Structure 1
Amino acid sequence: MSPLQSIAGQPVESVLAIARQVGWEAADIALQFYTAQSEAAPKLWQEGDDPVTAADLAIHRHVLERLQTAFADQPFGYLSEESDRTALTLPLPEEWVWIIDPLDGTRDFIDHTGEFAVQIALTYQQRPVLAVVAIPAQQLLYWAVQGQGCYRETQDGTQTKLTVSDRQEDLILVASRTHRGDRFQQLLDRLSLPQQIYVGSVGVKIVAIAEQRADVYLSLSGKSAPKDWDMAAPELLLLEAGGRFSHADGSALRYNTGDISQWGCLIASNGPAHDRLCQEATALLASLD
C-alpha cells in the first residue's frame, strides 16, 4: 500500500497527532465513566442489543467538537455512531470522512469486562487511510496510517510497531461471547477453528490479531449487520500490521456508500490462509442456504 502523501493538503503527521491526542482524551473520558460505573449502574437511553450510555454520548460530543474545531477549514465530513442520521444526507458528499465509534463494545462497557474501545478513522474515497483505536481499560492506543504500519502507543509515548503472526495452520479465532445466530455458529463449527478466544469490541478483536494473540475474525450479517464505524478503524490497523480484511468473495470493504451496514460475510486474518478461508466460507455458506 503506497504511503499517504498528505491529507486534504495538510501534512499527515499533523493530522495524525491531533487524532491520537483526541483518542487519548476520549479514552480518559471513557475511564471516568467506567470507574464511576463501579459505584452506580450506567444510565441507559436505549435498552436491547444496542444500548447507549452517558459515556457514548459524552465521547461522541468531545471527539466531534475537537476534530471539527481542529479542522474547521478542512473539507471533512463526519459520521459517528451517535450522529443524528435523520439530519444527514447519506452518503456524505465529502471525499474525506471521519468515521467514529465513540464506544465500540458498549455492552462490554456495561458488563465491566474492559473489552471496549474508542474508534476513529479517516476515510478517503470510501477507504480508510488513518485510524486510531484506544482501549481505555488497558491504557493503550493503537494507530495506523496508510503505508506507515500499525503501532501500539502507551501513555508515556512509547511506540511499538506491530506485525501479525505468520501462522498458516492451527489458527486462533477471536470471537464474541454473544451475537451468534445459528447460521453463524454452523459456519464457525464447519470451518474447523477449534482454538478460540472471546472478547467484545471489534477493535479489541482486531488488536488481538495485530498483537499475534489471534489470527482470524469473522462477521456474518443476519437481520442486522455491523456498521461502518465498527470496521473502518480496525480494518486499517490490521492491513498496516500485515493482515488482510475483506468480504468472503475477496472484495474490499467500502465506507460512506449510503448504506452504513456492512452486509454479508467479512473475514479478517493474519494473511497466509486468507484466500483459503474465503473460499471455504463461501462454499459453506452456499451449503447452509
Structure 2
Amino acid sequence: MHLEIEELLSIARDAGKVVLDVYGDEKQFEEVKFKSDQSPLTLADEASNNLIVERLKTFTPEIPILSEEGRDISYEERKSWEYFWCVDPLDGTKEFINRNGEFTINIALIKNRVPVLGIIYVPVSNVMYYANQETGGWKIDSEGIKSHIKVDKNSIDWVSVGSRSHASDVEKEVLARYPVVKNVAIGSSIKFCLVAEGTAHIYFRHGPTMEWDTAAGQAILTLSGGQMTTLSGEPFLYNKPSLLNGSFICSAQYLTLRD
C-alpha cells in the first residue's frame, strides 16, 4: 500500500498545533481529568485525537483506526484487520503536565500485526521523525532540514535511553549486561527516535505499555535498521486480544535476554 507521506506529516503537525494551543493557554492547561487507569487525560489529548481521527478517515476511509481515546473496540471486531492505524494523540501526558516539552504525536500503520509506517512529531521542538518501508527512516529538524537516519551498529560505548516517569531496578540490572557508558532519561516515544538516529544504542522497558505507545516508535526504529523484540527474542506484534504490551528491548542489533 502506497500512501502519500506528506499528508500524514501534515496531520501530525496540525495535531501538534492543537496540542500547543492547550499547552500555551493556562486556563485550558489546568483542565486535567483522570482515566480509569488513573493516567491523566487533558483537553489536548481529546483535541488531537479528534483531529487525527477525522483526517485519517478522510485520507484512508478504508483503513480502521485504533487510538488511545478509542480503545474500546472489541477483539472480535478488530481481529480480522489486515491494516489499521494505531494512534496515540498525545504520548507523554505526564511530560505535558510537567511542562518539560517531552511529549509527542504518534501515528503508525500496522499491516498483519507489524508496524510498517511510523510518524512521531515533537510539537515543542518542531522535530519530526518518520519511516516507511519504501524510504526508510527520516528526521526533519526544527529548521526544516531533512536527513536520512540509521541506527549506530558500530559503537563500542553505548548510550541507553529510559523513561523519565517509569524507571525500574530491573532495567538497571539488564543494562549492566551491555557496554553502557551513559544513561539518558527522556519522556514519551522520543526514546525510540534516539536509538533510530544513532544518538542512543539501547532502550529496555520493563513493565506494561499499550500498543499505541510503541507502534510508531517501533516502525521508525526497525525501518532505520534497528531491532525491537520481546525479552525472549520473539517478534513484537500488534492487534493482540489484550492491547497491553509486555516488556521489550530495542537496540541497533538483535539482543535476547534468554541468558
| Shift, 1:119, TM fit | 0.3
Deviations 1:109-147 (A, max 9, x none): 110111110000011111111111111111011111114
- TM-score using structure 2 length: 0.90
Q: Contact 1:90 / 1:257 at 8 angstroms: preserved in 2?
A: no
Q: Once the 2 structures are TM-superposed, how far is the Cα of residue 248 of structure 1 from its aligned partner? A: 2.0
The match for 1:172 is 159
Alignment equivalent of 1:64, drawn from 41, 53, 56: 53
Matched, 1:250 2:233: yes
CA distance, structure 1, for counterparts of residue 38 and residue 177 of structure 2: 27
Residues of 2 paired with 1:129 and 1:21: CA distance? 19
What amino acid maps onto 1:206 in structure 2?
F
Please show how residues 256-275 of structure 1 align to structure 2 within 5 Å: 256-263=239-246, 265-271=247-253, 274-275=254-255
CA contact (8 A) 1:90 1:256 kept: no
Q: Amino acid of the residue matched to residue 140 of structure 2?
A: E
CA contact under 8 A between 1:132 and 1:144: conserved in structure 2? Answer: yes
- Structure 1 residue 239: Cα displacement: 1.2
What SS is found at the alignment partner of 2:153?
coil
Check conservation: 1:80, 1:100, Cα contact below 8 A.
yes
Structure 2: how far apart are the matches of 1:60 and 1:26?
8
Separation in structure 2 between the aligned mates of residue 158 and residue 235 of structure 1, nearest angstrom: 23
Residue 219 of structure 1 corresponds to which residue in structure 2?
205
Q: 1:153 to 1:250 in 2, by over 3 A?
A: same
The answer for the alignment partner of 2:192 in structure 1 is 206
Tell me, in whole angstroms, the C-alpha distance in 2 between the residues paired with 1:81 and 1:234: 15
Partner of 2:139: 152
Amino acid at match of 1:266: F
Tell me how far apart the structure 2 counterparts of residues 34 and 118 of structure 1 sit (CA, whole Å): 14
Cα deviation for residue 196 of structure 1 reads 0.3
Q: 2:31 corresponds to which residue?
A: 43
CA 1:13–1:159: 2 relative to 1, 3 Å = farther
Q: For residues 1-289 of structure 1, what are the structure 2 equivalents within 5 Å? A: 7=1, 12-14=2-4, 16-37=5-26, 41-46=29-34, 50-72=39-61, 74=62, 76-85=63-72, 89=76, 91-154=78-141, 158-189=145-176, 191=178, 193-201=180-188, 203-221=189-207, 225-263=208-246, 265-271=247-253, 274-275=254-255, 278=256, 281-283=257-259
Q: Which moved more, 1:157-166 or 1:115-124?
A: 157-166
Q: Structure 1 residues 166 and 185 mapped into 2: Cα distance closer, same or farther (>3 Å)?
A: closer
- 1:195 and 1:109 map into 2 onto residues whose CA distance is 25
Query: What secondary structure sits across from 1:251 in the alignment?
Result: coil
How far apart in 2 are the matches of 1:28 and 1:69?
19
Question: What do the CA deviations read for 1:149-208 (whole angstroms, capped 9, x no partner)?
Answer: 10112477542111122334221100112313443444345556341011000x211111
**Runs of at least 5 residues in structure 2 that lack an aligned partner in the other structure:** none
Residues 69-103 of structure 1: per-residue CA shift (max 9 Å, x gap): 2222x2x1210011151677454432110000011
User: What is the identity, as a one-letter code, of the residue corresponding to 1:96?
Assistant: Y
Residue type of the partner of 1:212? G
Is the 1:121–1:129 Cα contact (8 Å) retained in structure 2? yes
Report if aligned partners of 1:91, 1:258 keep a CA contact under 8 Å in 2.
Answer: no
Provide the C-alpha distance between the structure 2 equivalents of 1:213 and 1:155, rounded to a whole number of angstroms: 17
Quote the sequence identity (%): 27
Segments of 4+ moved more than 4 angstroms: 86-90, 154-157, 189-192
Contact 1:248/1:282 (8 A) holds in 2: yes
Tell me which protein shows more helix as a share of its residues: 1
* SS of the residue 1:130 aligns to: strand
2:135 and 2:193 mapped to 1: Cα distance?
17
Any unmatched runs of 5+ in structure 1? 1-6, 284-289
